Amino acid sequence: MENKLSKINNFLKDNKQFIYSVVLMLVIPSVIIFNTWLFSQSFKETVDQSLRDKAVGISQSINISLADELDSQEKLQSYVNNWKKFSANQELIDEKYEDDVVALDIFYKNDENFKLVASFDKDKIGQSYDSMAYVIAWNSNWPSAQKIIDHSNNKYYWLVVSPLKNSFGEKQALLVMTISASAIDTSLSVALTRSYIVLIFSVIVIILLLFANSRLFEHALLYQKIKEIDQMKDEFISMASHELRTPVTVIRGYVVMLIDDAKKMSITGEALEYLNTIKISTERLGDLIEDLLNVSRIEQGRMKIESQIMDAYPIIERTVSQFSVQAKEKNIVLSCINDGLESSMINIDKDRFEQVLINIIGNAIKYTPSGNVDVKVRSKNDSLFILVKDSGIGMTAKERERLFEKFYRVKNPKTDSIVGTGLGLWITKQIVELMGGSISVDSMEGVGSLFTIEFPLAKEKQKEP
Ligand code: ADP
């Protein structure tokens, strides 16, 4: 039992949005149905009221017409006959005509009871009747109207009982009329049917809308779940890269020691070659781990940027010089040019800034089989520009568009043999932007590439690196 309850509880917790939609699906149509029912009830009451007033009105106008003829039974019957004849004629002229007055009787008060003196139904004339409603109306001196329902045909009528007075205000007879409500009943039921049709239609539309909405909720849930899984993936990559970093560093250290020892022992040939291959592969693995760590730091907002204002040019010069051996090995002329610099004071995190330079200059050398790599630094319009230009393989305009995407690598015969992760430029762009700068590229296939990094110049000089 407890297990069942906790299952239900879990289901409710996991499907909050779904349950919310179902509740809305039930509540909104119910409110509309209730509202329509309330409206129809009050509409019926209003119609009843006006029908009652109309019935009383008819009885009073009959009284006015008959005020001087109340003591003559013949005249009363002739009035009743005329009424009937008029209705019959109307029905002949117009098939749809339906007289509201279905029974019209006039009584004289006869001691205890009432004697019928004029009626649509001539056979009943002369009969005596005793009715509470008649007595009440007679004694109250005022017309009374009472609703009666004929269950056999599901119709209802108004029974109007009104004392008839002569011109001197003396009671002389009693009028009893049965007025049909069928005409109004029909129009009322037509109006109600219409409003029920509109009601059904709007309920269907609302249910459809809510159904579509619940699918939106499902998508929102799915999106939430995907985000959670994505976060788990990021955490896993971060954790795995951390765990991999230490053993790779240890392997790299021992391989370097082994190579040194081998050189000391004058070991050459295949053994040394194998050791060098291990060293290169471990370095590549280390770089990949470092890239993955940087990606997860940036994506999780953990990349620490501790900026301070410093002179960038000496840092650039030093970083360029670190590549001189690598450039020489590839027959590349590497230069660092101060292009009329007025100031190179910018607000940066030194380590991250170096990381950016290493990536861009490293790429320039990596993707230039031989030729030139020039690093030009200039200041213009309150900005510092670092231009890294190479005469390497370059790239097409289409390739350039996706260059700063994560894991994007240009794939062609020229890049096939060059190893990389496709993460360097994405990381570089993120770091440059985190430090308030921007990076752009211009390139031409077979001619070379130009990467431009721009940083706003700092207003005051603070610290030399
Ligand atoms: P990778 O690890 O592949 O070098 P990057 O993100 O640093 O990853 O660079 C993405 C891609 O951009 C590279 O694979 C390469 O095709 C292209 N690229 C980057 N720098 C240059 C350059 N200086 N010249 C030509 N292509 C370049």
Q: What is the pLDDT of residue 94?
A: 63
One domain, residues 172 and 280: no
One domain, residues 131 and 40: yes
For 119, residues 6+ apart whose C-beta sits below 8 A from its C-beta are 77, 80, 103, 104, 105, 106, 125
One domain, residues 381 and 406: yes
The CA distance from 292 to 325, in Å, is 27
- Residue 385, domain member (yes or no): yes
Q: What is the pLDDT of residue 402?
A: 92
Which residue has its alpha carbon closest to ligand 1 atom 13? Answer: 409
Phi, psi of 156 (to 5 degrees): -130, 155
- Residue 278, domain member (yes or no): yes
Q: Model confidence over 277-299: pLDDT tens digits?
A: 999 999 989 988 989 889 988 98
One domain, residues 289 and 373: no
- Residue 65, domain member (yes or no): yes
Q: Model confidence over 214-251: pLDDT tens digits?
A: 777 778 888 889 989 988 888 888 888 889 888 999 99
One domain, residues 295 and 313: no
403 lines ligand 1 (CB under 6 A): yes
Q: What is the pLDDT of residue 300?
A: 83
* Residue keyed to tokens 């721009």: 454
409 lines ligand 1 (CB under 6 A): yes
- Given a cut of 90, whether residue 88 has pLDDT beyond it is no
Distance, CA 302 to ligand 1 centroid (Å)?
25
- Residue 8, domain member (yes or no): no
421 lines ligand 1 (CB under 6 A): yes
One domain, residues 338 and 431: yes
362 lines ligand 1 (CB under 6 A): no
Among 261, 278, 299, the domain boundary falls at 299
Mutational test site, ligand 1, from 285, 360, 410, max ligand atoms within 8 Å of CB: 410
> Between residues 334 and 178, which one has the greater pLDDT?
334
One domain, residues 62 and 147: yes
Ligand 1 atom nearest residue 364's Cα: 23
Find the CATH number of the domain harbouring 43. Answer: 3.30.450.20
Q: Model confidence over 379-425: pLDDT tens digits?
A: 998 999 999 999 999 999 999 999 999 989 998 888 888 888 899 99
Q: What is the pLDDT of residue 271?
A: 83
One domain, residues 51 and 164: yes
Per DSSP, what are the bridge partners of residue 453? Answer: 386, 439
Give the tokens for residue 105. Answer: 């009787």
- Residue 465, domain member (yes or no): no
> Nearest CA to 192 among 41, 52, 45, 51?
41
422 lines ligand 1 (CB under 6 A): yes
420 lines ligand 1 (CB under 6 A): yes
For 309, residues 6+ apart whose C-beta sits below 8 A from its C-beta are 345, 346, 347, 458, 460, 461, 462, 463
Among 265, 299, 333, the domain boundary falls at 299
Q: Model confidence over 361-370: pLDDT tens digits?
A: 999 999 999 9
415 lines ligand 1 (CB under 6 A): yes
One domain, residues 221 and 143: no
The CA distance from 372 to 227, in Å, is 45
Q: What is the pLDDT of residue 25?
A: 73
One domain, residues 26 and 137: yes
Q: Model confidence over 40-52: pLDDT tens digits?
A: 788 878 877 887 7
Q: What is the pLDDT of residue 394?
A: 95
Find the CATH number of the domain harbouring 363. Answer: 3.30.565.10
Which residue has its alpha carbon closest to ligand 1 atom 20? Answer: 363
> Nearest CA to 448 among 388, 404, 375, 376?
388
Among 299, 319, 340, the domain boundary falls at 299
365 lines ligand 1 (CB under 6 A): no
- Residue 315, domain member (yes or no): yes
Which helix or strand (DSSP H or E) is residue 119 part of? strand 113-119
3-class secondary-structure state, position 371: strand
Res. 99 pLDDT band, cuts 50 70 90 = low
3-class secondary-structure state, position 348: strand
One domain, residues 291 and 343: no
> Between residues 371 and 91, which one has the greater pLDDT?
371
Whether the CA torsion 246, 252, 258, 260 is positive or negative: it is negative
425 lines ligand 1 (CB under 6 A): yes
Distance, CA 394 to ligand 1 centroid (Å)?
9
291 lines ligand 1 (CB under 6 A): no
Ligand 1 atom nearest residue 415's Cα: 16
364 lines ligand 1 (CB under 6 A): yes
Res. 91 pLDDT band, cuts 50 70 90 = low
Mutational test site, ligand 1, from 367, 387, 407, 447, max ligand atoms within 8 Å of CB: 367
- pTM greater than 0.85: no
Find the CATH number of the domain harbouring 274. Answer: 1.10.287.130
Distance, CA 400 to ligand 1 centroid (Å)?
10
> Nearest CA to 357 among 419, 421, 281, 437?
437
Ligand 1 atom nearest residue 409's Cα: 14
The CA distance from 120 to 80, in Å, is 7
Task: Report the percentage of the chain scoring pLDDT > 90.
Answer: 39
Q: What is the pLDDT of residue 450?
A: 97
56-68 mean pLDDT: 85
Residue 248 near residue 285, CB atoms below 8 Å: yes
443-456 mean pLDDT: 96
Which residue has its alpha carbon closest to ligand 1 atom 16? Answer: 410
70 lines ligand 1 (CB under 6 A): no
Mutational test site, ligand 1, from 285, 366, 409, max ligand atoms within 8 Å of CB: 409
- Residue 257, domain member (yes or no): yes
For 11, residues 6+ apart whose C-beta sits below 8 A from its C-beta are none
Give the tokens for residue 76. Answer: 């009363």
> Nearest CA to 118 among 66, 57, 165?
66
- Given a cut of 90, whether residue 313 has pLDDT beyond it is yes
Q: Which domain holds residue 330?
A: 308-456
- Residue 197, domain member (yes or no): no
Angle (nearest 5°) at CA 76 between 74 and 81: 90
163 lines ligand 1 (CB under 6 A): no
Q: How many domains does the chain have?
A: 3
The mean pLDDT of the chain is: 86
One domain, residues 316 and 286: no
Task: Report the percentage of the chain scoring pLDDT > 70.
Answer: 95
Least confident of 153-157, 199-203, 373-377, 435-439: 153-157
Distance, CA 446 to ligand 1 centroid (Å)?
14
Which helix or strand (DSSP H or E) is residue 116 part of? strand 113-119
